[in-house]
């Protein structure tokens, strides 16, 4: 085969080279599938992945969600072996710091703790005295429910204390999500995968109800019997290129999000692990240089900032959101100083209707989707790649996944992952948190 033939046809085109897209490329390449990944941006992980807080936690609302996250953590523990040596940029690092999920009455812990028991996720229940002892930087007062800054309730003196917290020692965060994507790219390339950057997929080629390949912004085409949409916040736009807008029960939409960066509280009083705080509506994560990331848990009082066009949104941090989130964090951490300079980032989640991803085939034969990652799937990159590669192999091999859904076995834990939970045609999951918790 000549070089030009090799580049104009392949076994599978993957649209998107973020954390999930590169993991799918790696997993397909491991199975001997020739892949070509296309990304509009100049390098792997430059899309929403680059903005990820990269927290690895297990606190989801479904068995499959918790099982996937627990399985997914093992990929990070085994990262050097999983991606292998040979990335000239070094390897991303999993900081297994543990994580605190603060309890509040009716809080998210009530959904996920029974699932921890079912899946086998190790955890400790802390009462408020233990929380005070283990996390002295945190004020365990009950401030919630979250309120906006112009609501007197936000400033009211707390009358009670939180019931305690759930500690998951296996949780943590990945120090560099963009580098993790690059690691996956290099691992895939060592098995023959191809990557083309700064190139946009402009149309999906079809014939007789099957996908035939893609057309690119440089006018060229790549023929392939399999095309995978892993376009992150552009997932809806790419589905529209394939004429699939109205064929899935579960839709996806871009949602704007800000994550702010502030100096962490000083010395021994620092916050050394992620904290999910539904009582104030923020999450916290340590960052290099004694900094702290402050993200939002989307409390109801804030509303949602949906975006029509993922290429057109305000990429700058706003004073209003900075003050709101950082002041919420400062209620929980009395030693936190609120800087005048507003540092942080604005990025997009690709949110599904029930905040649970869609990992599935579509009504167009050969066209697959790994979309709707809803601000909570970076941690699952490895296992999502594995699940998608298993699904693609099964469906291309003739399995009717719609009527006989695939159950994937987690390679590290042996846990069953029922792919029906991630179907494009599922009813909205009644147990979902309908938030970034998943
Ligand atoms: C602010 C923020 C914080 C987050 N925090 C966490 C967290 O703490 N823990 C966690 O697990 N998850 C988190 N997430 C979610 C996680 O980062 C995402 O689920 C994950 O990175 C998505 O990866 P992806 O590969 O699907 O998409 P992306 O990284 O968005 O990649 C999609 C790629 O597709 C490309 N593309 C789109 N359209 C086209 C086209 N037509 N042609 C060619 N290329 C195209 C884009 O250029 C882009 O590079 C967070 C997300 C955000 C935004």
> pLDDT of 172-214, one tens digit each?
999 999 999 999 999 999 999 999 999 999 999 999 999 999 9
Burial (CB < 10 A; 0-12, 13-18, 19+), residue 158, is: middle
Work out the pLDDT band at 396, boundaries 50, 70, 90.
very high
pLDDT of residue 266: 79
On the question of pLDDT at 388 being above 70, the answer is yes
* 12, 226 Cβ separation under 8 angstroms: yes
pLDDT of residue 5: 43
Domain annotation for the chain: domains and CATH numbers: 3-91+176-251+354-422 (3.50.50.60), 99-169+255-349 (3.30.9.10)
Report the nearest-CA residue for atom 21 of ligand 1. Answer: 49
CA 161 to centroid of ligand 1, rounded, Å = 37
User: Which of ligand 1's atoms lies nearest the C-alpha of 16?
Assistant: 34
Q: Which of 17, 49, 382 maximizes ligand 1 atoms within 8 Å of its Cβ, making it the mutation to test the pocket?
A: 49
Work out the pLDDT band at 268, boundaries 50, 70, 90.
low
Burial (CB < 10 A; 0-12, 13-18, 19+), residue 308, is: exposed
pLDDT of residue 2: 41
Distance CA 411, CA 68 (A): 11
**342 Cα distance to chain centroid:** 25
Q: pLDDT tens across 295-339, in order?
A: 999 999 999 999 999 999 999 999 999 999 999 999 999 999 999
Whole-number average pLDDT of the chain: 96
Distance CA 141, CA 258 (A): 25
CA 121 to centroid of ligand 1, rounded, Å = 26
pLDDT of residue 6: 45
Q: pLDDT tens across 62-90, in order?
A: 999 999 999 999 999 999 999 998 899 99
CA neighbor of 76 nearest in space, from 288, 379, 410, 357: 379
pLDDT of residue 153: 95
CA 250 to centroid of ligand 1, rounded, Å = 18
Average pLDDT over residues 236-264: 97
Unique residue bearing structure tokens 């109801």 = 300
Report the nearest-CA residue for atom 4 of ligand 1. Answer: 52
On the question of pLDDT at 294 being above 90, the answer is yes
Distance CA 41, CA 29 (A): 22
Q: pLDDT tens across 110-124, in order?
A: 999 999 999 999 999
CA 44 to centroid of ligand 1, rounded, Å = 10
Number of C-beta neighbours around residue 41 at 10 A: 16
Q: Is the CB of 46 under 6 A from ligand 1?
A: yes
Burial (CB < 10 A; 0-12, 13-18, 19+), residue 159, is: exposed
Burial (CB < 10 A; 0-12, 13-18, 19+), residue 219, is: exposed
On the question of pLDDT at 269 being above 90, the answer is no
Report the nearest-CA residue for atom 35 of ligand 1. Answer: 16
CA 233 to centroid of ligand 1, rounded, Å = 7
């Amino acid at each position: 085969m000549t070089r030009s033939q090799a580049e104009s046809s392949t076994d599978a085109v993957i649209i998107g080279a973020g954390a999930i897209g590169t993991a799918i490329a790696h997993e397909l390449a491991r199975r001997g599938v020739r892949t070509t990944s296309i990304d509009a941006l100049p390098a792997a992980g430059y899309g929403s992945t680059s903005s990820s807080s990269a927290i690895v936690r297990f606190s989801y609302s479904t068995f499959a969600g918790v099982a996937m996250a627990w399985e997914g953590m093992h990929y990070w523990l085994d990262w050097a072996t999983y991606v292998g040596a040979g990335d000239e940029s070094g390897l991303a690092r999993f900081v297994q710091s543990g994580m605190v999920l603060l309890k509040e009455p009716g809080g998210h812990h009530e959904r996920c703790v029974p699932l921890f028991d079912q899946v086998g996720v190790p955890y400790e229940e802390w009462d408020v005295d233990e929380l005070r002892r283990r996390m002295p930087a945190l004020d365990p007062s009950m401030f919630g429910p979250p309120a906006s800054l112009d609501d007197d309730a936000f400033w009211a003196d707390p009358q009670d204390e939180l019931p305690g917290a759930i500690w998951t020692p296996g949780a943590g965060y990945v120090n560099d999500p963009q580098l993790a994507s690059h690691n996956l790219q290099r691992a895939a390339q060592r098995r023959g995968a191809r990557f083309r950057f700064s190139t946009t997929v402009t149309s999906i080629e079809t014939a007789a109800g099957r996908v035939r390949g893609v057309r690119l912004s440089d006018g060229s085409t790549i023929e392939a019997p399999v095309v995978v949409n892993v376009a992150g916040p552009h997932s809806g736009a790419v589905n529209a290129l394939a004429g699939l807008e109205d064929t899935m029960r579960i839709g996806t939409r871009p949602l704007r999000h800000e994550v702010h960066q502030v100096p962490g509280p000083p010395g021994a009083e620092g916050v050394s692990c992620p904290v999910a705080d539904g009582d104030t509506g923020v999450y916290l994560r340590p960052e290099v240089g004694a900094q702290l990331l402050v993200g939002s848990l989307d409390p109801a009082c804030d509303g949602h900032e949906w975006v029509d066009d993922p290429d057109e949104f305000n990429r700058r941090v706003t004073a209003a959101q900075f003050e709101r989130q950082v002041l919420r964090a400062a209620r929980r951490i009395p030693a936190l100083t609120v800087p005048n300079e507003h540092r942080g980032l604005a990025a997009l989640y690709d949110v599904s209707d029930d905040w649970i991803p869609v990992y599935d085939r579509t009504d167009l034969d050969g066209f697959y989707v790994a979309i709707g990652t809803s601000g909570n799937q970076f941690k699952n990159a490895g296992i999502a790649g594995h699940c998608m590669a298993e699904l693609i192999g099964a469906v291309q091999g003739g399995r009717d996944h719609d009527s006989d859904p695939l159950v994937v076995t987690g390679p590290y834990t042996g846990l069953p992952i029922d792919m029906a939970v991630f179907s494009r045609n599922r009813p909205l999951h009644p147990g979902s948190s309908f938030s970034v918790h998943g």
